[in-house]
Structure 1
């Protein structure tokens, strides 16, 4: 007897749990009358502290107030991005639930329409494996969506103001200033030393266009078997697709952007001229060419796959050579 629930159970475990955008402290502050409170603080401080100290405190509180209002404005953008992430997770959960339902229907039709035999069991296992692959691909696509949202959060985060210095803060002498250097006076420039060269890149990968490209491929291959973790950049612990390629190139001394579509850097390469280290870039996924018609990518786990230009409906941006 074929145990259909056991075959479908791995699919059910892939359905993401519900996500909820939290009502964090910044959102709670925004719901109150914080701007009015901020405007009132400087006057209250000036009334309480007179003279030079009072002026310094007033100036500091005024600047801090402006920064607080800016943070509240940006918090609204972050809340919208959080809502988009919740929606993306919900869509993925719905899609994987549909895939699980399709799997059940095919298994039932197989068992009902064919005599029970070892061949039927093998066919049922193949059906379950096919649908599990579809579900895992949908999770990879979700990772790409969340990765893009993370990049947008980084843009908002970059706009957050730095905290103001406290009143009466005195500029400290630079750490490398000699003893007795007056504050604000730069020390004598240190002697110029040759810039340290990056560690020698390996050239053991046949066909690699540069030693750095070969070293990046070797680094990526060292991460084979690492589980997929969205936002992960640590071999052995967890990596996502662009985290793998960025980390691999960093080991070769080459800095590339963090997100998948932003890694379309360097000259574009025709499909018939691919070389180890080239990147296959989609608008939500990226993989590294390793040679012999293969590429390495962060599935679950990091694995080698045949080179392709399709990835569950994502837009293919092309092949690129970061060291070109």
Structure 2
């Protein structure tokens, strides 16, 4: 072996070690980004967004904290996480009308955290419109935006925001009178969540990011149960696909069937996890944080499905070209 060859091999080894080190660093960065997304509060991203999206030298006029539906949705969640600050009423239309008294409005605002925790579903903050004029793709009239719903007594009450002009002349998105009136008409029984009935008082009283610690400790259990059912579905579908391949002998359809099993099981696992969250009665704050994970898993499943289908289509095209070349 010449000295030139030895030098080439040494360079190749060095390049390989550098590549491995880069790959390990990339994995650590991805893991850190995922943990940051799950653990950092939404306010951190709210503070980073204007810094990244706007130039530092431009000075703009201060805007209202409730100028967009996303701002109001974020404000409601912050008020639920910090009930001692008593800021929830600022996100509601509190002016009484002939068919909606001030006492009814105050009662709805006081019970709203318990109602949303027990019966409510809120959209992830990232999916709520950040346009001051609201979303143009919804089926609602102008100046209205839906950010969630309440399911109780066989009824579905949408949580609507209405764009109104306040006394200062600013336009803000506040919880509409229609929603307040519909909630006041419900005869709801506020009961303890199931997770708090099986947990100790110390875990129920201790708080982490606005929710009881017992609610957070239930997340790993729900994840394990959801993964177990998703794995059982995967095993069943895989065996069924193998039997179908043996009897039919159609390799083309078998490839498409096999590639769709994994994303289907991932979406099924997300569905089971979501149902477990509702069954355990987890706080809306916990469910909102976990929605980042569930939405990411759904997008990942769709990406895997599309990539597998494109891969199968490309392999089919390659086989057709080979057959044409053989015939030629």
Under TM normalisation by the shorter chain, which class is it? under 0.3
TM, length-normalised to structure 1: 0.24
TM, length-normalised to structure 2: 0.24
- Higher normalized contact order (CA 8 Å, seq sep 6+, divided by chain length): 2
